[in-house]
Amino acid sequence: MASKKISRALISVYYKDNLGPIIKALGAEGVEFVSTGGTQTFIEGLGYKVVPVEELTGYPSIFGGRVKTLHPIMFGGILYRRDNEGDVSQSKEYNIPPIDLVIVDLYPFEETLASGGSESEIIEKIDIGGVSLIRAAAKNFKDVLIVSSRDQYNEALELLQSTQCQPSLKDRKHFATMAFDVTSHYDTAIFNYFNQEEEIKSLKMSVQGGSSLRYGENPHQQAVYYGALEQLFEKLNGKDLSYNNLVDIDAANHLLNEFEGETAFVIIKHTNACGVATADSVKEAYLKAFQADTVSAFGGILCTNQKIDVTAAEEINKLFFEILIAPDFTPEALELLKSKKNRNLLKQKGVLKISRQFRSLLNGVITQDFDGHTEKKEDLKIVTKKKPTEVEVRAMLFAAKIAKHTKSNTIVLAEDGQMLASGVGQTSRVDALRQAIAKAKNFGFDLNGAVMASDAFFPFPDCVEIAHDQGIKAVIQPGGSIKDQDSINFCDGHDMAMVTTGYRHFKH
């Protein structure tokens, strides 16, 4: 593919780290430098002559630096087509020299926003000339090479050195593609900043840094994760994470976040909890969580919010699991748990916090607020004659947290600090309850005195009738059915307590 010799380079960058080797590579091939401001000073400091932009255009930098390179001389030199006789003729007529390489980055808009800059500071970091130069050079990739980010410096240096500053058309198009990625991402960040107040119904997302996964939900599906996973976790052991691993890790994190200030342990399988418990130690919390379903825990995702010591690790190590997540591990615990090389051990760096959720749906995308409401004691409305005890209240709030993060329709059965069983993803709430009862009995739990949580209201009293038959004494549910009173009346007639929350927690 056609290679083109770089004879003149326009270089104007905000970040100059690692720029020096590129300047030297260009200088060694006799490339002429055009620059301005701090970049000009930097290049001259390396011993190379620079043609100032102001000299080329005949105009100084004006309006506090807002206008420096926005001039026909600059854009003409980038955009004119070298194989078009009319363009070549006009470039000579107006004395427009060709520019074959543009190295330009953008003002740090996102960084300024993230640092809490004032509105005026943020606005001044909206780059105009840089974006325009990048787009112009990328559009004319047939004649021009564009380097649009400091993240591309190493790749650009390797290209310039290996080709003696004569990149091929394929190389130039590759860098043009990266350039449009840079500008589109930049514009998305700016739009989303302005749209916080305007709320224009337009969805724009840009996440850079995708990582190919081994496969998707199934081996015949390809998958890519877009995001900076390293900001949340440090991988201490194990193989690459899969699509299903990431989905389960997300579910485990959101559920575990419900137990801030407590020592909690969560075991997840296919995004649903098969064991959840709180206790005074990680070891005790794990054993209680594992007790809820010793079968499903096999190959599961384990997650705790406290440091894992060797006593907890000794118990956990007996189980085959895919992933274990904790904020830290003692050296002895880590050494023991790393005994199996494929076992993923993740050190959690911070709390996962999101405000919006997104899902592809039909021929579009649907978005909603994240369900961030967690029931507290003051949210509970006692609707029965019998009041729940303090222990029952704690147990109901515990069970409601789990139900919130379980596939609908769901019923969760629990004691204070321990999930006993759950019915998951059933088309009937009665079926969900029967499934939970069967699981609880299968793993040796006595449901006398247990509590029941439902993610949605009871349209009929059948669930509380079945629960009563099993010895369940207290029920927490959102309420809101036109037949709420039927369930309440049954509880009143059978010495059961019921509270409503006013919040439904469907999860589909």
Q: Exposure pattern of 400-428 as b/e (b: 16+ CB <10 Å)?
A: bbbbbbbbbbbbbbbbbbbbbbbbbbbee
**Helical spans, DSSP H, in 363-421:** 390-404
Residues serving a catalytic function are 139, 270
Q: What is the 3-state secondary structure (H, E, C) of 216-241?
A: CCCCCCCCEEECCHHHCEEEEECCCC
CA–CA distance from 177 to each of 139, 140, 172, 315, 435 (Å)? 10, 12, 9, 51, 53
Radius of gyration for the alpha carbons in the chain, expressed in angstroms and rounded? 31
Q: Which pairing describes strands 301-304 and 272-279: parallel, antiparallel, or unpaired? A: unpaired
Q: What does the alpha-carbon distance between residue 110 and residue 122 come to, in Å, rounded to a whole number?
A: 9
Closest CA relative to residue 457, chosen from 497, 500, 414? 500
The identity of residue 228, as a single letter, is A
Q: Which residue has the tokens 């596939």?
A: 407
* 131: Cα separation from own chain's centroid: 27
Q: Is 74 helix (H, G, I), strand (E, B) or coil?
A: helix
CA–CA distance from 299 to each of 244, 257, 270, 272, 296 (Å)? 12, 22, 10, 13, 8
Q: What does the alpha-carbon distance between residue 305 and residue 312 come to, in Å, rounded to a whole number?
A: 13
CB 340 within 8 A of CB 236: no
CB 245 within 8 A of CB 216: no
The residue count of the chain comes to 508
For residue 359, what is the DSSP state? Answer: E
Q: What does the alpha-carbon distance between residue 83 and residue 81 come to, in Å, rounded to a whole number?
A: 5
Q: What does the alpha-carbon distance between residue 201 and residue 184 come to, in Å, rounded to a whole number?
A: 18
Alpha-carbon dihedral of residues 369, 371, 372, 373, nearest 10 degrees?
130
Q: Is the peptide bond before 409 cis (omega within 30 degrees of 0)?
A: yes
CA–CA distance from 442 to each of 76, 80, 289 (Å)? 78, 77, 15
Q: Which pairing describes strands 32-35 and 263-269: parallel, antiparallel, or unpaired? A: unpaired
